[in-house]
Every structure is written in structure tokens, then in C-alpha cells.
Structure 1
Amino acid sequence: MQVIITNMTISEYCQQMKEKKIIVNHNYQRSGKIWPPAAKSYFIDTLILGFPIPKLYIYQVTDLKTRKTTKEIVDGQQRSTTILSFYNDEFKISGNSQFRGRKFSQLEEEDQSKFLNYQLGIDSFVNATPDEIRQTFKRMNSYTVPLNAQEKRYAISQGSFKWFITELSNRYAETLKSIGVFSEKELSRMDDAEFLSDIISTLFYGIERFSNSGLDKLYREYEDDFPNSVEINQQIDNAFYWILKWKEIHRTAIVKSYNFYALLLSVIHHLYPNPKLMEVRSVEKKHGFTDDIVLFNLSQLSEVLENKNSIEDKSKYSDFVKAASATTTKGHREIRFKYFCQALEPQIV
């Protein structure tokens, strides 16, 4: 078997697909699911903006009688058909893309050029048997880092909720890193997407122990449509608006992911009282917070976590200290949530 490593512009690739020099062989299709509009749009947006994508793999076959060579797409069929479909002006970009509402022909000339001249990385298998192709992918997969639960969720789902979380995490990834919730490594393993999914799950179903199966269910439930997107976006955006004002608590123990889960929910709950969260802590709707009071209260909580001996009356924080660890049990989550709710009010206790 010989592997030829090449690059091809999208313009060249689409022309060869139109001429049937590169064809789709559905025997190689690993998933029967067709990408929804959100997935197609996100992919095209990625290409126009020049971000890298995985290689395409092609099986090159020559008919000795006709001496005709064809290339069958082994891996990358959804990407290839999406590229060709957009090239043919068959759909508009949707979602939060800056190119929203435009077909290829409606893009600015500069952006059309970026799309057409994008360099696709292609590995072509020549003189390969089906077994050698199977072995290729088995060997490649044996050296990759195993997917975590959120990465598996993303690999399986192409539904509305996944693309909502994708846009949300893209919007807040840098913020979550800068205030100290996640490291760059954690962001690269999609901890932020899992965290935001968990927040939304709690808004819908109440505080529960963290559960991968519960998040899997959420992605399945909103596979076809996520009608709450505008409402949830507003709640999370407004909560981040206030938290970003409280710079003194950034990069403290309070914004460790397991504590930030409770803080973010408590801010949302005060701004938009949530029926499920009312079962844990009753609050009155607020239109904003008194920064000085909130910062003082949150600083007290931060201080008791980072320097327990500096607080005179430690007894009133004992439950919080016990619960403020990297645990995701329902009981500990509820205790943390109650304390943060209290911190947003005039008196912490």
C-alpha cells in the first residue's frame, strides 16, 4: 500500500466531485446521520475563516481495462458533500456566523476567494486492499487519546442542543479561562461545554448529582429542536455580566468549577427565579445587585476557603467549607448554592 499526501483547493476538489473523479462510496459511511443545517453552517464558517479541519482520506482505484482512475472518499463524506452543496449554492449559512443568511454566491468576493482557495489536506491510499484501509484506521485510533464523555457526546450528536452549546462555549471559553474557572488544557477537552450543559440541565430539572447519562439524555431530548435558546442565552449572558463586574473574586477559590457552578446558578436564580431552584432556595426577583455588599459577602466565602483561620466565627461557615470541595453530590451542590444565594443578599446568613 502506498499513501500519497497532497493538498487540494476546495475549488479543485469540487470540480473533481462534479466530474465524478472523486465519488462518495456509502460502504465507507461510518454514520447514517445527515448533518443538520447548524452543523453544515458551522463547518462552512470554519472553512471561510481559515481554521484547520481533519484530513480527508481517499481510496484511489484504477480500472486496468479502461485505465480510468477514480477516487472514493473513505473518510470525510459529510464534509465533502457539505462543501459541494455550499459550492453549488444549495443552502444558506445559519446560526451566529458573521456570514448568516448567505449562500456562496451572496458572500463578499474576498470571502468567496477564501472558501475556494482553502487547502484541503488529503491522504490518498493507492494499491490498497480493504483490509489495509481498515488496518490504517485501527492503527491511527490506537494512538489517539481516548474521548472523554463530553467529546463522545459531541461525536455522536449533531442536534440542535449540541450546536447551541457550541456557540455558547465559543462565546465564553476565554472568559472562563481568564477568571480562573478552567485551564487551557481543560478547555481543549471540552470541560466548558460539559459545564454549560450541566448548568442548563439544572435549570430544567433542578439540582442533582452530576450524571453523564443525564447530560446524554438532555442532548437526545433536544436533538431536533431547542426552543429555549433565546431565553437561556439571555439568562446566562446577564449572569456573566454581573459576575464579570466582581473582579475581586476572579481567580479565587470561589470560581473553581464546582463552586462556580453554584455561583452562576445563584445569580441566574435571583435575576430569573427558577421554579426548580425555588425548591432549594426561595428568592425574590432582582433586577440587579449591590456590588459592595455582594463583594463583601463573596470575599468572606473566598477567605474562609483559602485561609480558614482568618475568620473569627468559623462555625457559621462549617457546612459551606465541608461542601465546597470538588464533589458533585446533590447535597453538597445544594449547600453551596444556598450559601451563594445568601451572599447575593444583604446578609450572608
Structure 2
Amino acid sequence: MYKEEITLFEIIPTRTEPNQTIFDWYKRKEKINFNPPYQRVSGLWDLSGKQLFIDSLINGFDIPKFYVHRMLSTEKGYLYSIVDGKQRMQSIFDFIGNQFPLSKDFVLYENGSDKLAGKYYEEIASSYPKIINRFDQYVLDVVQIITEDEELIRELFLRLNEGVNLNNSEKRLSKNSYLNEKIKEIVNTNKFFEMIQFKNRRYEHEELLTKIVLLEHEEEFVSLSKTNLDKLIERYVYSDEKIDRTLYSVNSLLEDMTEIFEGREPILSQKSIIPIYYLFVKRNYRGNSKQIAEFLITFEDIRYENRKLDISHSNPILIEFDRLNQQGANSKNSIKKRYTIIEDFYNVFLTGKIKINAVTELNDIDLDE
């Protein structure tokens, strides 16, 4: 007789287990995975947000529950993964680790004292041990989920965050996918992502890399739409020879771009233009990093000078390039037009010094397309 297999899924309610104090969890910090695939990138809370949360704990206010996945197997040495409460738990650990002090406006409500204001954990522990002991013994509301089914954990994460308006990148990167893991790995190891001039808030670096991988994978101009990015991630849930070749090519070229852009990082401040730079370098780099770098700096300079001109004297091609960087930058036509513009200016650059009006028309692309 067929017996249906039942997936283990158990929720251990809040405060039903011993050893749930702040300091108990701090002692487990090395066993906690803060970055499972479905989690957001660290750093969403600023200093004031962290300080306000610690203020609430010291003053004994009630705080929301934490949700953790308690693992049945200790893969990579972890016993727990944070499902919900990552920023709060990190704030606690950072405070105990003396990475930030209480705010300068801190007041202990029980007696109105401001003597703790601006002090670090170790300073408070030294001068006011009773307060730190009370903080350490604060019992956290930690709901533990026991299951081997990661899809159930992802579903729980998304439900808990329904009111947080997860962006497309966060939803995409929460999926269990081989390609997702490789994208995160490259972002964390390739030095190019240390050079770009915007912070990795809410998976912005992973989103950029996913777009670059799509361009490399398709080997042609393609829309960088949400639909296409989602399809790419869903296609490579498991390892595959083609995507491995694509990732190798991307990682290698980004290493070359690190050399090209070294000392020129400010031109990597606009997210929408970096995929165009990637295509340009891919098609023109032959070990000539100095030449490529000189051109890109020159191209940025003439775009800047063009913006300062009266419209009647400015170059419409460069105006269009700027517009396409801001409007519909992910469309196939926008990518093709911007690449063609930068390539045409590069061809003039190779013959001598380029000026704002070096290219005033595109022969093969209609700007009104």
C-alpha cells in the first residue's frame, strides 16, 4: 500500500525553550547563518536605527519576534539561519561587539538618567554592570522552525515580509538557484564590486551582475527586463556547462575592468551605464587597458561638457545618450543605441582627439525608433 511521505515542518513557539536570552544567542553567533539565499543584503539599517533598537531593549520595551530556521544538518557549520529579524539580531551583536555606542540622546526611562548616552557596551559593563546584566538576560522571542524543506522557509520569509515591499531583486535572489549562488559568490569575491560607486543596498550589486550575465549569456543585445532576468535565474536552478562558461567569461572580464577602472572609480557611479561599459570592453579590450581607460574618461568628459552647452549648440547624440541612461535603460533598443553611440565615438578616438561634435549622427540607428 502506498504511503504518502510527509514533510517535516515544526514550529517551536516563542519562549518555550531555555537559553533564549540575548547573551545566549550572542554565544551562538558563529553558528548563525545571516545570509541564507532568501535574505536581504546587510546594511539596511543606519546607525540611528540600530541605536534606537538597542535603546528599546535597555529600556525594557517589547520588540517583535525573531524567526530562525533550526537546521537538521549542520551544513557549513551553521545550526540556525535567520528568517526574520536579521537587522535586529545584527544590531544586538554589533552593540555587544562595541561597534557602535548608544545615541547621545539616550535616556534611561526608569530614572531619567542620561549618563549612559554615547557609551559603548564595554563602558556600560564597567561602570553600570547591573544594567548590562539586565540587557544580557533580556529574553528574546525567537520562533524556531524545524524543516528540511527550504521552499517552506522561503515561503515563510516572503509572507513575513509582505508588508515590506520586497523589490524585484530581493524576490529573485530569494529563490533557490545555482545561478543565484554563483552571482552572490562573484559579487563577494570580484574586486570590481568594491570599485563601483553605489552601495549594495537591497541586492543592487547582484541585480547589476545578473544583467551583465544575461548580456553575456545571450551574446547579443537583449532587454534586461524583470521577465528576462527571472527566466535566466529559473533556467539555471542547477549547474550547467553553458552557464558555467558564461560565468567564467563574466568574472574574467570584470577582473580586466578592475584594472581598466582603477583610479577612475567615479565614472562607475551610474548603475545603468555599467552594462554598456561591459559590452564595450568585451568587444574592444585586447590588453589595451590604458587606451580603453583614456577613451572612457574622455567620453565622460565630453558628455559633461555637452550638458553645459545651450541646447542649440549641444550634440543631440550625446543628449540622447544621457536620456537613454535615465529612461528605459533596460530596453533592448536603449542598450543597442547607447552601445552604438559609444562605439562610434571610440572609432573617432582611435583616429585622433575627439570633440563633442565628433559624432553627430548614427547611420544605422533611428533615434526615434
Q: For 2:75 and 2:326, how far apart are their aligned partners in 1?
A: 50
Q: For 1:338 and 1:191, how far apart are their aligned partners in 2?
A: 26
Structure in which a larger fraction of residues adopt strand: 1
Shift of 1:257: 0.8
Q: For 1:295 and 1:212, how far apart are their aligned partners in 2?
A: 31
Aligned to 1:3: 15
Identical pairs, percent: 15
Does residue 167 (structure 1) correspond to residue 180 (structure 2)? The answer is no
Structure 1: 5+ residue runs without aligned partners?
A: 14-45, 55-73, 89-120, 126-136, 271-285
Q: For 2:264 and 2:228, how far apart are their aligned partners in 1?
A: 31
Aligned to 1:199: 212
Instruction: Pick the aligned partner of 2:338 from 333, 336, 342.
Output: 336
Residue type matched to 1:196 in 2?
A: L
Q: Contact 2:321–2:338 (CA<8 Å) still a contact in 1? A: yes
SS of alignment partner, residue 15 of structure 2 = strand
Q: 1:3 to 1:333 in 2, by over 3 A?
A: same
Shift of 1:189: 0.1
Does residue 251 (structure 1) correspond to residue 266 (structure 2)? The answer is yes
Q: For 2:307 and 2:173, how far apart are their aligned partners in 1?
A: 44
Q: Contact 1:162–1:219 (CA<8 Å) still a contact in 2? A: yes
Does residue 237 (structure 1) correspond to residue 237 (structure 2)? The answer is no
Shift of 1:220: 1.2
Q: Contact 1:161–1:219 (CA<8 Å) still a contact in 2? A: yes
Q: Contact 2:307–2:314 (CA<8 Å) still a contact in 1? A: no
Shift of 1:255: 4.3
For each residue in 1:90-128, what CA deviation from the matched residue of structure 2 results, as whole angstroms up to 9, or x when unmatched? xxxxxxxxxxxxxxxxxxxxxxxxxxxxxxx87259xxx
Equivalent positions of 1:210-289 (< 5 A) are 210-227=224-241, 228-247=243-262, 249-252=264-267, 255-270=269-284, 286-289=285-288
Q: 1:148 to 1:193 in 2, by over 3 A?
A: same
Shift of 1:169: 1.6
Q: For 1:319 and 1:87, how far apart are their aligned partners in 2?
A: 51
Q: 1:86 to 1:342 in 2, by over 3 A?
A: same
- The Cα RMSD (Å) is 4.2
- TM-score with structure 1 length normalisation? 0.52
Shift of 1:167: 0.4
Q: For 2:288 and 2:295, how far apart are their aligned partners in 1?
A: 12
Aligned to 2:298: 300
Q: Contact 1:165–1:193 (CA<8 Å) still a contact in 2? A: yes
Residue type matched to 2:74 in 1?
A: I
Matched length: 228
Q: For 2:78 and 2:257, how far apart are their aligned partners in 1?
A: 43
Q: For 1:317 and 1:343, how far apart are their aligned partners in 2?
A: 10
Q: Contact 1:262–1:333 (CA<8 Å) still a contact in 2? A: yes
Shift of 1:85: 9.4
- TM-score with structure 2 length normalisation? 0.50
Q: For 1:51 and 1:210, how far apart are their aligned partners in 2?
A: 31
Structure 2: 5+ residue runs without aligned partners?
A: 1-12, 37-65, 80-139, 145-155, 360-369
Q: Contact 1:266–1:341 (CA<8 Å) still a contact in 2? A: yes
Does residue 314 (structure 1) correspond to residue 315 (structure 2)? The answer is yes
